[in-house]
Amino acid sequence: MSRPFLKMNGLGNDFVVVEARTQPFSPTAEQVRAIADRAAGVGCDQLIVVEPADGVDARVRFWNSDGEEVAACGNGTRCVGWLLMQSTGKDQALIETKAGRLLASRAGERLVSVDMGEPGLDWREIPLATEHDTRALDVALYDHPALASPPACVSMGNPHVVFFVADLDAAPVREAGPVVERHPLFPEQVNVGFAQVIDRHHIRLRVWERGAGLTKACGTGACAALVAAARRDLTDRTATVQADGGELLIEWRADNHVIMTGPAAVDFAGELP
C-alpha cells in the first residue's frame, strides 16, 4: 500500500512528513535510510511522522537520515506546526515530542514561532560522560587553530556543542564535525555547531547534525548557539541566527524558554512505495 507524504523544508533543512493519525506508520531504520537517500529515495535530512495523541494536536516523531530516531528537531517542529494550524484554522498547535510538549504559533505569512522550552545546561542534561562546565569546556575536542576557544554545550531536547570561531568560512566544519559528533565525551553523540558572532544581535552558524551531516539550517542548533553566546555575554538574549539556508530569530526569554521564529515551506507532495 502506498502512503502519501509531503516534502517540506525550513530554511533548506528538508523533511519527508508522513501523516499517521489515521493509518499507523512505524518505519524501520532501513526504511528511513531508503526514504532519506537522495539518489534512490525521496531524499531528506529527517523523516517526520505525525501521530494521534490525547490532549494535543498531534504527537510527532523524528528520524535522522541515518535511521536513528531523535527526540527533537526545531525546523521540523515548525513545519509540522504550520501544517497543523493550516488543517485546524487555529493560530496555535500543541505538539507532543520525546523532548516534551512544544507550542507552535502563527507569526506571519508562512512564519511560525515555536516555544522550544527551557535549555538544558547541566552536564548531565546534555549528557556528557563526565562532569564539565558547559559554559566553556576545559577539554580539547579537535586540534585546529580555528577551534582554540573552548566550546560550550547546550541541550535543546538533543545534545549540542558550539564552537565560537572568528571566521566561519575558515572553520573546519566538514573535517571536525564528524569527529566531534562521535567524541567519547558525548555518550549519545552530539550536534556540532560552528558560530561566528557578528555583533550582539547577529550570529552566523553552520551545524554538523548528528546522524544527518552538514545541513542548510538546524533549528535546535540555532537555539543552542544563541543560548551559548548569551551565557558568555557575546550576544544579547535575542539575536538573528544566519544559517546557509536563511535566518531564524531566536529569543531566550526571561522565563528561561527559548522561542524560535522562522519560515515553513511545502516543496511537493508524493507517495511512498
Integer Cα distance of 213 and 127 in angstroms = 20
> Is residue 44 flagged as an active site residue?
no
Integer Cα distance of 122 and 134 in angstroms = 7
The answer to whether 202 touches 242, Cβ cutoff 8 Å, is yes
Q: Which of the residues 44, 79, 218, 223 is marked catalytic? A: 218
CB burial of residue 54 (10 Å; 0-12, 13-18, 19+): exposed
> Is residue 73 flagged as an active site residue?
yes
Question: Who contacts 6 (Cβ-Cβ below 8 Å, separation ≥6)?
Answer: 16, 17, 83, 266, 268, 269
- Which ranges constitute the DSSP H helices of the chain? 29-36, 74-88, 173-181, 219-231
Cell numbers that stand for 267 in this block: 516543496
Q: Which of the residues 44, 73, 79, 223 is marked catalytic? A: 73
> Could you identify the residue written with the cell 585546529?
144
Active site residues per annotation: 73, 218
